[in-house]
Amino acid sequence: MARTSAPTGRQLLAEVRDVVYDLPVFATAPLYRRWHCRWGATPAEIGDVLPGDTVLPHAQFRSTRAITINAPPNAVWPWLVQVGCGRAGFYSDDLLDNLGRPSATTIAPDLQHLEVGQWIPMSPSATPSDRTAFKIQSFEVNTSLLWSKPDSTWAWRLTPAETNRTRLVTRVHAVYDWRHPLTAVFGVILMEFGDFAMQRRMLRGIKTRSEAHPDDAESRDETRLAVSAPLAGRVR
């Protein structure tokens, strides 16, 4: 089961250590904003069109980041599908974004269903009316995924690379709405100071998990084929 649970004492200490380790990055991120908003991405990836690019044309925060994963896209995709607070977590600083509950290290079959309009909770109390929760705007299995909320979009693209690898690219656009000062200030703190350290750790967390279980995707595909074959035979 991949749903998160309360941390053990050792896990909690590790989470505190991770946050302390990231503190210098949190504090200094605005000083090298141009660099970290392109962390890991090639010029071509930065210039590519991704889902959601036209949703917030006046976004003040724009980042495109990427990482190479030594596993095929169908081994990476399930980790993205089950993301969310109270679901599999975010594979990042769990103390800050998952109430201290360790992010999942296995795939949960019951968290693998996706549909447009589905909510991705960013907090345990998230509801469909909560402006902090993302909604699935669009997706293409093993290829792309777009989350959105009123003030931001978060896109993912998985591209097959040589030797059975994946380029995982993620893009965030966020608007600071100064008509609501408190919300805007919170957005500035979150994106300008917190986003890089958290998202870099998330990308690395997805990479570690995908590379540790590359055969899981193949076995899931074989199971789907075995189940769909007799069904296909009936629909004739």
List, for residues 187-227, the tens digit of each pLDDT value.
Answer: 999 999 999 999 999 999 999 999 998 766 554 554 343 33
Identify the pLDDT of residue 214: 72
Identify the pLDDT of residue 5: 80
- Structural tokens at position 107: 């795939």
- Does some domain include residue 33? yes
Q: Mean pLDDT for the chain?
A: 89
- Does some domain include residue 106? yes
Rounded CA-CA distance 24/133 in Å is 28
Q: Are 127 and 31 in contact (CB under 8 A)?
A: no
Identify the pLDDT of residue 1: 43
Could you tell me the CATH number of the domain that includes residue 50? 3.30.530
Identify the pLDDT of residue 217: 59
DSSP state of 89: B
- Does some domain include residue 3? no
- Does some domain include residue 1? no
- Does some domain include residue 130? yes
Count of the separate structural domains present in the chain: 1
pLDDT at position 231 over 60: no
List, for residues 70-124, the tens digit of each pLDDT value.
Answer: 999 999 999 999 999 989 999 999 999 998 999 999 999 999 999 999 999 887 7
- Does some domain include residue 86? yes
- Does some domain include residue 233? no
pLDDT at position 55 over 70: yes
Q: Are 177 and 193 in contact (CB under 8 A)?
A: no
Helix (H, G, I), strand (E, B) or coil at 37: coil
Q: 112: domain range? A: 9-191+206-222
- Does some domain include residue 2? no
List, for residues 141-174, the tens digit of each pLDDT value.
Answer: 999 999 999 999 999 999 999 999 999 999 999 9
Q: Residue 153: CB partners within 8 Å, gap ≥ 6?
A: 52, 55, 56, 137, 146, 147, 171, 172, 173
Q: Which residue has the higher pLDDT, 5 or 28?
A: 28
pLDDT band of residue 132 (cuts 50, 70, 90) is confident
Q: Which phi and psi angles does 58 have, rounded to 5°?
A: -105, 20
Identify the pLDDT of residue 69: 98
